[in-house]
Amino acid sequence: MKRSEVNRIIRENIEFLEQNRFCLPPFAFWSAEDWNSRGHECDEIRDNCLGWDITDFGSGDYEKIGLFLFTLRNGNQKKPELYKKPYAEKVMVVAPGQVTPYHYHWYKMEDIINRGGGTLAISLYNADSRTDLLDTQMPVTVHSDGRTYQVPAGTVLRLEPGESITLHPGQYHSFWAEGGKTMVVEVSQCNDDASDNRFLEPAGRFPAIEEDEPAEHLLCTEYPAAPEAFG
């Protein structure tokens, strides 16, 4: 992805979140220059990948296969003794015509909540225990807003604003927006996008960036280490 595209996506979605009265924390607006002076007091942001997260899943076509995310809080699966939060929270924006490809998590359970805009469509399968691919035969158990029921493999559920679904480890899911740009909140166990995603098809979770202009805000994988002078 080009840096100019990343900058544009962030600007557009800041405006969309503001329109939907979703307020971001102060560190969302720090510049690259600001980060050069942030000391170890900000290591929780660095170590747990809080902040901006723009991905095209290695597709080279963000508008069709991509997702905008901002992680507001997170623990750490690898350092639970240091970061004791057992939970995470993200806000995501899903644009019409844009798909998040099939994947599941080995560890993380998550609630996906439609917080406004259009309809969130989500397709569900279990992972086949023999092949680790889509199980096209086994019904999927759905936990949604206090209801538990079963649907055939591959069912597409449509979540209207205010509706949610709980996704368990081993449940393949793919989602997209219908009827307009959609704001989605994820509340989950600790998130680790570097090692807790199993994609059905090979995918790159974090994009390589072509630097065609300066970064307005750093992505969560780009923070510089704390200057040692700051202790």
Question: Among 78-92, 104-118, 199-213, 217-231, where is mean pLDDT lowest?
Answer: 217-231
Residue 9 DSSP SS3: helix
| Ordered structural domains, the chain, with CATH | 3-230 (2.60.120.10)
Mean of the pLDDT values across residues 119-133?
97
Average pLDDT estimate for 106-111: 97
pLDDT for the residue 6? 97
- Ranges of beta strands (E only) in the chain are 51-55, 67-74, 87-94, 99-104, 110-127, 134-135, 140-144, 147-151, 156-159, 164-167, 171-189, 198-199
What is the full DSSP assignment across 113-160? EEEEEEEEEEEEEEEPTTTSSEESSSPEEEEETTEEEEE-TT-EEEEP
Q: Is the pLDDT of residue 98 over 70?
A: yes
Q: Looking at the DSSP assignment, which residues form a beta bridge with residue 199?
A: 103
pLDDT at 147 over 50: yes
pLDDT surpasses 70 at 230? no
Confidence (pLDDT) at 228: 77
The residue type at 9? I
Q: In whole angstroms, what is the distance from residue 113 CA to residue 177 CA?
A: 13
What's the confidence (pLDDT) of residue 229? 56
Render pLDDT for 39-68 as a digit per residue (tens, 0 to 9): 999 999 999 999 999 999 999 999 999 999
Average pLDDT over residues 170-191: 98
Question: What is the pLDDT averaged over residues 3-14?
Answer: 97
CA distance 158 to 155: 10
Residue 218 has pLDDT above 90, yes or no: yes
Q: Are 200 and 172 in contact (CB under 8 A)?
A: yes
Calculate mean pLDDT across residues 68-77. 97
